[in-house]
Structure 1
């Protein structure tokens, strides 16, 4: 019986943690990670402050847990679907398409969680800065590696500078996100998609193998 009670408490704790993090991701994507506090989240969700504190312990840990939760959401929407495709330009295009949809469809209400967090914590120091910087570095490295795989398969020209190409593709994605969040105008996503596709065609050994659009 004791084990049953313990398991029940653990499951309730996990459910509360998921509930809290779902809300903190929404808040942070719009107001920033500094907009989070244990008291605020407890009040908004009708939970006890002591109970939320027991789960996270500090505002910083709440912020770090939010970054980790947002990472899992990001990977689920952007990376995992692309990895269902074989390595090569097909996967590159899927990554691009998934990212555009992730921002455009407001998986996070404030647009790209990690772009806004990078702006918020870029000039700061500490554990939250390091976590955000690490996630951004991992994403950039993943895009580079995906492009390098396409080059290794002969789908990109041998002289393709994958670091430069990754930088340009990510810059187009993030510009579309900023324009949409600031103005409410989604036209930037179509422009970003067109620009990315043009850049990939210029580097591809067989431009005709690329899709007609990265939208949809």
Structure 2
């Protein structure tokens, strides 16, 4: 096998490991990522896994980074083409609700479950989670400030408070879908977003979608 083919194969193997790690972590938590478990799932040896990830912590960090790629693909990219400000925010929230409703991660939102798992532990995993949440909150806050500047939201709007409340809606939706699979949960989340982010002037009158 040529060096180029070897590198391509190593990259594909690493991608398989990371994707399986994301799926397992969303259901069983990041602590459930053991080399033995993953080796069995993927038909690999533990030593083979160690060749790609030298520690469990490295595997956890890789799973979170891949989770962020998936979240961006599912939630931000579908909304990125909308007009800045309120239209984009509503599009983001619609995509966010859809992401949770469709169960993109088998066990619900990877970041919500990982935060509950690591919030009292400290260390590199919690530090990465904090950076990821800050980055997402910063993106939402920027769109809210744009909406205020465009006159789409009242000038006294507190963007940080609105982000806090939007997080609450989505975490509640994730919790309700995972705990009880309540079919009304999505509609409740849509109504909550409609109260927080009213339709832009002249926009369509239908519900958030």
Could you tell me the TM-score, scaled by structure 1's length?
A: 0.92
Shift of 1:88: 1.7
Residues 10-69 of structure 1: CA distance to partner in whole angstroms, max 9, x if unpaired? Answer: 111111111111111111001100000122101111012211111111000000000000
Mapped partners of 2:184, 2:14: distance in 1: 37
**Closer, same or farther in 2 for the Cα pair 1:148/1:211, shift >3 Å?**
farther
Residue 203 of structure 2 corresponds to 209
Residue 97 of structure 2 corresponds to 100
Query: What SS does structure 2 have at the residue aligned with 1:109?
Result: coil
Q: Higher relative contact order at CA 8 Å, sep ≥6: structure 1 or structure 2?
A: 2
- In the TM superposition, 1:39-188 aligns within 5 A as 39-188=36-185
Structure 1 spans left out of the alignment, 5+ residues: none
Mapped partners of 1:181, 1:137: distance in 2: 24
Could you tell me the TM-score, scaled by structure 2's length?
A: 0.95
Structure 2 spans left out of the alignment, 5+ residues: none
Residue 32 of structure 1 corresponds to 29
Aligned-pair Cα RMSD in Å: 1.5
Shift of 1:210: 5.7
> Is the 8 Å Cα contact of residues 32 and 117 (structure 1) preserved in structure 2?
yes
Residues 189-210 of structure 1: CA distance to partner in whole angstroms, max 9, x if unpaired? Answer: 2101101101222xx773x536
Find out whether 1:196 has 2:193 as its counterpart: yes
Residues 82-136 of structure 1: CA distance to partner in whole angstroms, max 9, x if unpaired? Answer: 1112212110011000000111101001111111111111111100111112111
**Closer, same or farther in 2 for the Cα pair 1:7/1:86, shift >3 Å?**
same
Shift of 1:211: 4.7
